[in-house]
Structure 1
Amino acid sequence: MILTLATDLAGVGASASDFGFLLHKNPARPQSIEITGGTAHVFYPEATDDRCTAAVLLEIDPIALVRSGRGKASEGFTLGQYVNDRPYAASSLLAVALGKLFRTAMNGRCDARPELAARAIPLEIHVPALPCSGGAALAERMFAPLGWNVDARPVPLDPEIPAWGPSRYVDLRLTGVLRLADALNHLYVMLPVLDDAKHYWVGPDEVDKLVRAGEGWLGAHPDKELISRRYLAHRRYLADSALERLAEADGVAEPEVASEEGPVSLAVERRTSVAAVLKELGARRIADLGCGEGALVGELLKDPMVGELVATDVSARALISAKRRLHYDDLPDRQRDRLRFLQSSVTYADHRLAGLDAAVLMEVIEHVDPPRLPALAKAVFQTARPGAVVVTTPNSEYNVRFDSLPAGTFRHPDHRFEWTRPEFAHWASQVADMYGYSVEFRPVGAVDPEVGPPTQLALFKLREKVTN
């Protein structure tokens, strides 16, 4: 099977020969790598200042593929494991080869030409024989929303007998002006999606690969459900997990925050800030209310002084994802004994949460409809009544600093509201007075002198436990 990538960089003021730097493959030296069941080669049929073409040739040995245990499930019958189209047609095996050959390019890194790696460049991609379960129309549906001009032509079953009609293959040509990293990630995801027959075991780690390769584009694709389902071999629980993670990432990209070790994301800054507050409180029994996929729980598990962690979420799927992310079944017994998962809603009283040292609502309240906020306050501050409550929420005043966020819109499509600092202070002060807590406010992230921090944090302390 073969795939070619070509470019003419004159339009962006560069030489086409720079394509080799972007791909991290020298045009003067063909290279090969071994993959399961075959060998992948990369070479350049042409490499001039005007035009450069890189070709990926994948040689598959069906016998070696079966012996590796990777070719059995999808081929059906015994002879079909050895006699099939795998050596000739692009498939998930080619996607694996692309991931190994061009891993650095897929990450958007090029130390020799960093400015070129960050730019959209003219690209032409040709896959002469692509299995496409859905035909040329599906190829158009998959690639066109990503900015590609798509020319997908059905390959006839037999050119000498037109009456037999088209085969399951298309001759695919894509042209467009995109970043090379984006183009490679599109191929990495779409090749197995169009084939709809992965040739290796699909497990939870494939969700991570899909979310990583789909960062910045898959969450907005109109067929993201179909893509997730096919990429994950129609395993519904995996597809649901991928869609939940894509939905979380579908909001505006959060800024990086400077630290002594370099820039970190606001999500990391938020987790570490909350963990630091809990450590300052000396809290040993903690509930993460609305834990999602367990990012904060993972952070808190690092602290040996935390004796009990209760992770709750209204979504059973989120709890499954959290367990998977934390490798709960593989944790040592002592670690597992510290951790409990409960399906629970923050707007309903849950007496199982009563009497803890602290509870956390990290980026939760903005997902609750405003009329339900009094129920949330009663459930947390009256029924559960922990010694302290830590609440974080976006500061809507900071939204003007997000270049990609249109005016008047929220950071995430599931947000029901986003508060200014005075609005958050008003709500928190009312709750504190009503339920016998004191409250103080802290910034999370770099503080802008005009609009404040990107995230605001409120620390509630039960008055009867506050010492002078």
Structure 2
Amino acid sequence: MLLTLTTTHRPATELGYLLAKNPAHTQSFSLSFGAAHVFYPEATEERCTAALLLDVDPVALVRGRAPGEPGTLAQYVNDRPYVASSFLSVAIAQVFGSALGGKCRDRPELAEAPLPLSATLEALPCRGGEALLRRLFEPLGYDVAAERLPLDEAFPEWGQSAYLRVTLRRTCRLRELLTHLYVLVPVLDDKKHYYVGDAEVENLLAKGEGWLADHPERETIALRYLKHHRPLFRAALARLVADDDASPEESEDDKAAPEDRAEARMSLDEARRSAVVAALRRVGARSVLDLGCGEGKLLRRLLEERAIERVAGADVSLRSLEIARERLRLDDLPEKQRRRVQLFQASVTYRDARFSGYDAVTLVEVIEHVDPSRLGALTRNVFEHARPRVVLVTTPNAEYNVRFEGLPRGALRHGDHRFEWTRAELHAFCAKVAGAHGYAVEHLPIGPEDPALGAPTQMAVFTRAGAEASQAGVPS
């Protein structure tokens, strides 16, 4: 069983500091199921590869069987010594424990640095095929290359095996890559070699912090990771989707913070929707995807636009989507109207093929709810992978906050906001995104303007270079 980790970070040999394993030495470690060996097939300033080789002893795995307990041939003859499985996860935790925990004693700054990394698994069982492999890793931002292995190269007529040679590439922190491998390799194998109990729920939630709750395959991941143990699965899922457990009567308006209610007195919510609809009219959008659609207020306005033939809304909250469905009265619409609308669960920070194929994508008061470290994933998903003709982004103008009565100085307008930007900060962010992905960007105010502070909401209208579109804007 072989895993290789490669980086082209300069100097690449700093991978040895991150893994706490000297590239000049081969090291071996005793494990309960065999041995693990770490060595470096290549270690130069330009490129460094660390290899983790597991030597699984199938006989040792059954030595603890109770006296008189029958054994089977499969306990001694199986694929466990050769394929990536939960044994690999245990080895990662025991051999690369400090790296998995995001610690690096000699180069602590390296542990927090995004590095160009690739991981290759020479034989990975994928019970669900390459499609499941991609559904698990691509939403996390990985480039996935997979090659199905033959049963025996000497006998091609025997056909293909159930195993894949997989390479994953991403620029990220090493601990993120190791964590995703730790959780998802056993999920793909759909087996575990050890007992699963309540502690494994805690382990899953700890390793999944920051990514699992929003992953589009979170149910599959949790169910397989917990060996299809339904009570444990339900316990894990309940904690992962805690944000979706609001009572049916509690809507976005009910949950609004005092700062939001200050905005409401200015009718900013309606002003934003009107500005977005006006901009979509100007660019002649025929199909629109509203990412972070919430309870469907903008979607309802879009359905009133006859020129828009197709409308979709995506949100991470199932409860919000249910409210949106009720708000749009989808069950009561004529068949022709129903075909115009699609609602689906998704996270803006995970790559999703369903985001593609629309003239315009809207992100209305969404980006400020995303952790700054995940904004890169959001922009790649929208501007690089989905690549609509037009992207509309609205977000609060932090400079204007001093005008809100009752909002303490320095406070954010909503408790869930991760940040709020000044006009200069938004302009800098948009210029970087537009330049990187081939878009032009225009900035427009929404709401009453203060001569010094600007408007309470700022909107950025991105137009893809070379795309035919009329001038986007908001009527004065």
What TM-score do you get using the length of structure 2 for normalisation? 0.53
Are positions 1:233 and 2:200 aligned together? no
Alignment of structure 1 residues 241-260 onto 2, 5 Å: 241-248=235-242
AA at the equivalent of 1:451: A
Q: Conserved in 2, the CA contact under 8 Å of 1:397 and 1:451?
A: no
Is this contact kept in 1: 2:292–2:316, CA < 8 A?
no
- Point out which structure has higher relative CO (alpha carbons under 8 A, 6+ apart): 2
Q: Which amino acid aligns with 2:8?
A: D
How do residues 452-463 of structure 1 correspond to structure 2 at under 5 angstroms? none
Map of 1:52 onto structure 2:
48
- Closer, same or farther: CA 36–69 of 1 in aligned 2, 3 Å: farther
Partner of 1:42: 38
2:118 pairs with one of 106, 118, 124: 124
Residue in 2 aligned with 1:171? 165
Q: Which amino acid aligns with 2:58?
A: P
Amino acid at match of 2:238: E
In structure 2, how many angstroms separate the alpha carbons of the residues matched to 1:86 and 1:206? 21
Give 1:48's aligned amino acid. Answer: T
Q: Alpha-carbon deviations, 1:189-223, whole Å to 9, x = none?
A: 11111111111111111111111111111112111
Deviation at 1:29, TM superposition (A): 2.9
C-alpha separation in 2, matches of 1:408 and 1:199: 42
Residue 127 (structure 1) shift: 0.8
Residue of structure 2 in register with 1:451 after alignment? 411
Q: 1:107 aligns with which of 92, 101, 109?
A: 101
| Cα distance change of structure 1 residues 4 and 452 upon mapping to structure 2, 3 Å threshold | closer
Q: Helix, strand or coil: the match of 1:182?
A: helix
Q: Measured at CA, do residues 68 and 5 of structure 1 come closer, stay the same or move farther in structure 2, by a change above 3 Å?
A: farther
Aligned pairs for 1:419-458 (under 5 A) are 449-451=409-411
* Aligned twin of 1:201: 195
Q: How far apart are 1:237 and its partner, in Å?
A: 1.2
Structure 2 alignment gaps of length 5 or more: 262-290, 296-314, 324-406, 416-476
Deviation at 1:395, TM superposition (A): 4.6
Quickly say closer, same or farther: Cα 1:234–1:122, change in 2 above 3 A: same
- Count the aligned residue pairs: 281
Q: Is the 8 A contact 1:155 1:169 kept in 2?
A: yes
Offset at residue 67 of structure 1 (A): 1.5
2:469 counterpart residue number:
none
**What are the within-5 Å matches in structure 2 for residues 19-418 of structure 1?**
19-68=15-64, 78-248=72-242, 367=247, 369-370=249-250, 395=257, 397=259, 413=317
Counterpart CA distance in 2 for 1:396 and 1:414 is 25
Partner of 2:393: none
Q: CA deviation at 1:160?
A: 3.4
1:97-135 Cα deviation digits (max 9, x unpaired)? 001112221122224333322122111111111112122
Asked if structure 2 preserves the Cα contact closer than 8 Å seen for 1:367 and 1:414, the reply is no
CA RMSD after TM alignment: 3.6
Distance 1:105 1:218 in 2: 20
Matched residue SS, 2:152 = coil
- Matched residue SS, 1:174: strand
Q: Supply the AA of the counterpart residue of 1:45.
A: P
Q: Answer yes or no: is 1:4 the counterpart of 2:4.
A: yes
* 3-state secondary structure, aligned to 1:158: coil
Identity among equivalent positions (%) equals 47
Structure 1: distance between partners of 2:135 and 2:48: 28
**In structure 2, distance between residues paired with 1:369 and 1:115:** 47
CA change 1:413–1:56 in 2 (3 A) is same
1:219 aligns to what SS in structure 2? coil
Shift of 1:394: 8.6
Q: Report deviation, 1:5.
A: 0.2
- Give the 3-state SS of the residue equivalent to 1:167 in structure 2: strand
Classify the secondary structure of the residue corresponding to 1:220: coil
Letter in 1 for 2:85: S
Q: Which amino acid aligns with 2:198?
A: P
Return the alpha-carbon distance in structure 1 between the equivalents of residues 317 and 83 of structure 2.
39
TM-score normalised by length of structure 1:
0.54
Task: From the superposition, tell whether residues 397 and 150 of structure 1 become closer, same or farther in structure 2 (CA, over 3 Å).
Answer: same
Contact 1:398–1:452 (Cα < 8 Å) also in 2:
no
1:347 is matched with: none
Shift of 1:184: 0.2
* Cα distance per residue 1:30-61 (max 9 Å; x no partner): 32222221111212122221111111011111
- Tell me, in whole angstroms, the C-alpha distance in 1 between the residues paired with 2:116 and 2:14: 13
Aligned 8 A contact 1:27 1:43 in 2 = yes
Counterpart of 1:234, as a letter, is H
Aligned partner letter, 1:217? W
Question: Aligned in 2, Cα 1:24/1:454: closer, same or farther, shift over 3 Å?
Answer: farther
- Work out whether residues 155 and 168 of structure 1, in 8 Å CA contact, stay in contact via their aligned partners in 2: yes
1:451 deviates by 3.2
Please give the alpha-carbon distance, in whole angstroms, between the structure 2 residues aligned to 1:414 and 1:214.
20
Q: Which amino acid aligns with 1:6?
A: T
Corresponding residue SS for 2:62? helix
Partner Cα separation in structure 1 for residue 13 and residue 192 of structure 2: 34
Does the 8 Å contact 2:214/2:316 carry over to 1? no
Q: CA deviation at 1:172?
A: 0.8
CA distance in 1, matches of 2:5, 2:195: 28
Q: Which runs of 5+ in 1 are unaligned?
A: 252-314, 316-365, 375-392, 400-405, 418-446, 456-468
